[in-house]
Chains A and B, each alone.
Chain A
Amino acid sequence: MDNMRLFYRGINAKMAVKKYNGFLPAVIDQQVADSLCAIQAGNKNLSKAMIDKLKRHHLVIEKNSALYSTIPMLSCDLSLAIETAIKKRLDKDFAASSTIAKMAEKLADKWQVSSHVFVSQLVLGTMWFNMWLKLSDNKHNPVAVLIPDIDLNHVFYNEMYPILGNNVIVYWQSTLLGHPDTIYDILNDKYVTASIQSINEKFEFIPVGNALVLLKQLNMYKNRSDENKMPIPFIDLPKIDQALVKAVKGELQEVARVFYTNQQVLSEIAATFYNERAAAQGEVSYHNFRQMIYLVFSYCVVEAWLGSGLFPESVRIRDRKRKHNAPVWQIK
């Protein structure tokens, strides 16, 4: 169970950092991420304060008067090369799309409302990452710290938000078509937080400030009437529970078997790429480097799922924030 916290950074990032030796993406600020990319791209114009900070946290090593990042940067070129190798070596249905299709058929109506979260959070998020951790050489190894090209970072942004007892709100969105913080902003808005703190066992809550306006954007609540015919808002979302997971247990086992086979091949691919890595990544550990291969694999899986037409259409949430033009880095 402890392993899972690593991926649910919204819940307990601090605990994860305390228990494991690595850094979580949430712990690395944007400035640090930019600096690490800059070092791997050959840019040496960093402030002394930043260099000291990176050294202090063991994010860079100085060797022969040159700085080397200990954290790999996944450039577009590298991701393309990894993707090609993955698709060449793995089975055609490496994403288990045919099994996902069986799940969709079994869950029918429920699939229509919760399929994205189901596969992104549970199948890919929990199962694949769990497989990856369990088959890892040492479960106390650092967690993936990946700095892809900044503009393409966090293609899929997953987060969990504790709501009441043993319940969480889980969401995912692409940062490519919307700002990554849109749902995050809403769920962490002070009025929304205050409203959700008032939630009772029936998921009813007392709205504070403009919380209802914000929650409406995510279609997160409905109203029911009390005995005085006053409307009482309650959280109403597509639900995933034990029964749903049990209903597709056989299919989930099939997916896990595919992931098991994939993991072995991915390790071999990782070893090849690691041996041929760029000089700028000379001080990156094999474990950290291997995470990049797993990340690209995860994207390949999502791409296959998206291309399979298994997901129903849904409405985009409105986004008033605009993406800024982020720099593009290349490893030299």
Chain B
Amino acid sequence: MSIFEKIKKALRGKPVTGVALISDVEEVQQLLEEIVQEVIDEEAQVDKAGKLD
């Protein structure tokens, strides 16, 4: 069974739709981008330190 088939099965009888309003859409996107960038920077530092060890 492919992953798509499995999701099809998992969805049976489960919710399939969602509608919402995102207000401050630009700020929300900015926040998420910042979170991702912070984590990338942090993890890159950790990777670098690991390599030096």
Contact with A along B25-45 (1 / 0, CB 8 A): 111111111011111101100
Asked whether, in the complex, the Cβ of B17 is within 8 Å of the Cβ of A242, the reply is no
Q: Are A169 and B11 in contact (CB under 8 A)?
A: no
Q: How far is the CA of A249 from the CA of B28 in the complex (A)?
A: 11
* Interface 0/1 of B10-30, CB less than 8 Å to A: 111011111111111111111
Which one of A122, A155, A261, A299 lies within 8 Å of B28 (CB-CB)? A122
Residue contact A130 to B31, C-beta cutoff 8 Å: no
B51 an interface residue at 8 Å Cβ cutoff?
no
Q: How far is the CA of A127 from the CA of B31 in the complex (A)?
A: 10
A126 CA / B1 CA spacing, docked (Å): 28
A52-63 near B? 1/0 per residue, CB < 8 Å? 000000000000
Nearest Cβ in chain B — how far from A112, in angstroms? 11
CB-nearest residue of chain A to B13: A313
Q: In angstroms, how far is the closest chain B Cβ from the Cβ of A160?
A: 8
C-alpha gap A76/B4 in the complex (Å): 8
Please tell me if the beta carbons of B36 and A127 are within 8 angstroms of each other in the complex.
yes
Chain B residues within 8 Å of A168, by CB: 21-22, 25
Query: Chain B: interface residue count, which band?
Result: 35 or more
Interface size class for chain A? 35 or more
CB proximity of A103 to chain B, nearest CB, Å? 13
CB 8 Å contact bits of A154-179 with B (1 = contact, 0 = none): 01000010010011111111101110
Question: Is B7 located at the chain interface by the 8 A CB criterion?
Answer: yes
Q: Are B29 and A307 in contact (CB under 8 A)?
A: no
The residue of chain A having its C-beta at the shortest distance from the C-beta of B17 within the complex is A173
B52 within 8 A of A: no
Separation in Å of the B18 CB from the closest CB of chain A? Answer: 3
Q: Is B49 an interface residue (CB 8 A)?
A: no
Whether B18 pairs with A241 at a CB distance below 8 angstroms is no
Report which residue of B3, B10, B35 has the largest number of chain A beta carbons within 10 angstroms of its beta carbon.
Answer: B3
Does A278 lie at the interface of the complex (its beta carbon under 8 Å from any beta carbon of B)?
no
Smallest CB gap from A11: residue in B: B25
Q: Are B15 and A116 in contact (CB under 8 A)?
A: yes
Residue in A152, A170, A177, A317 whose CB lies within 8 Å of B20: A170
Complex contacts, A316 vs chain B, CB 8 Å: 15-17
**Minimum CB–CB distance for B45 against chain A, Å:** 12
13 A–B contacts from the bound complex (CB under 8 Å): A77-B2, A80-B3, A126-B33, A166-B25, A241-B22, A246-B31, A252-B32, A256-B35, A256-B36, A256-B40, A257-B39, A311-B15, A313-B14
